[in-house]
């Protein structure tokens, strides 16, 4: 029975790959990226995320792996992973969370931002300012993914037994991000860089692809 169930799942997955990404509410799949060498550590993550339409290129066939990820872009990636849920535009809600000129709403991801706010994934940077167009830091990104993990009922208990004090900059992690960073390290999403977690550094697109793919692999029933 288990083998039959697995076979059915694989058939459904194969069928879904034949449906255009746009029809599934996701971004179109990307071709091979000219600036992602096959030997690069991030290549498998970039290609996996792109194949699922979770992340797209920047210009033509370029991926720009070292470019920063904005808070809106990370939210859009997670929104696609969640199945691109649609929300009816709510002027009062939008006015509350987005403050116009000082904190513009990128039109391409308004649905994603509303979903993230309503789901408790994306919190403000002060008052009602989301900072959607600002680069997301590593600790902010991990915190957003941690909340997504809770939303998807992923077991985050591994973080309870994770000791991050061995990292040189462990004490520079913001208090709010400590549980998320412990979970990310314990779950293998973050492994540091030469003994440093770099919590305040801006997340790059290469790093974002890795976090996205590894988080997706933890979602119960998710195939990636």
Domain edges within the chain: 26-218
Cα angle 53, 192, 206; round to 5: 25
Whether residue 104 contacts residue 169, with contact meaning beta carbons closer than 8 Å, is answered with no
At 80, is the secondary structure helix, strand, or coil? helix
pLDDT tens for the chain, 224 residues: list them: 433 333 433 333 333 333 333 333 444 444 579 999 999 999 999 999 999 999 988 877 899 999 999 999 999 999 999 999 877 666 666 665 655 555 667 777 888 888 888 888 988 776 667 788 889 999 999 999 999 999 999 999 988 888 899 999 999 999 999 999 999 999 999 988 788 999 999 999 999 999 999 999 998 765 55
What is the reported pTM?
0.80
* pLDDT, position 125: 75
Tokens of 120: 């408790």
* pLDDT, position 220: 77
* pLDDT, position 20: 37
Among candidate residues 54, 8, 10, the one with its CA nearest the CA of residue 214 = 54
d(CA 134, CA 137): 9
* pLDDT, position 208: 96
* pLDDT, position 93: 61
d(CA 221, CA 83): 13
CB atoms closer than 10 angstroms to residue 210 = 22
């Amino acid at each position: 029975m288990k083998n039959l169930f697995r076979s059915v799942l694989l058939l459904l997955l194969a069928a879904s790959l034949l449906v255009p990404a746009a029809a599934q509410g996701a971004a179109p799949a990307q071709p091979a990226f000219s600036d992602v060498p096959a030997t690069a550590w991030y290549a498998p993550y970039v290609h996996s995320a792109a194949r699922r339409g979770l992340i797209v290129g920047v210009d033509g066939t370029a991926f720009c792996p070292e470019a920063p990820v904005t808070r809106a872009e990370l939210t859009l990636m997670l929104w696609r992973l969640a199945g691109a849920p649609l929300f009816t535009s709510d002027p009062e809600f939008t006015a509350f969370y987005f403050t116009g000129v000082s904190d513009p709403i990128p039109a391409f991801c308004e649905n994603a931002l509303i979903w993230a706010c309503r789901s408790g994934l994306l919190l403000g940077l002060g008052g009602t300012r989301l900072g959607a167009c600002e680069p997301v830091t590593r600790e902010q990104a991990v915190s957003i993914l941690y909340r997504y993990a809770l939303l998807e009922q992923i077991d985050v208990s591994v973080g309870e037994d994770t000791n991050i004090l061995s990292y040189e900059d462990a004490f520079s992690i913001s208090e709010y991000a400590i549980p998320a960073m412990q979970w990310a390290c314990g779950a293998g999403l973050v492994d540091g860089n030469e003994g440093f977690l770099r919590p305040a550094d801006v997340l790059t697109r290469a790093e974002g692809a890795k976090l996205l793919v590894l988080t997706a692999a933890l979602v119960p029933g998710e195939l990636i």
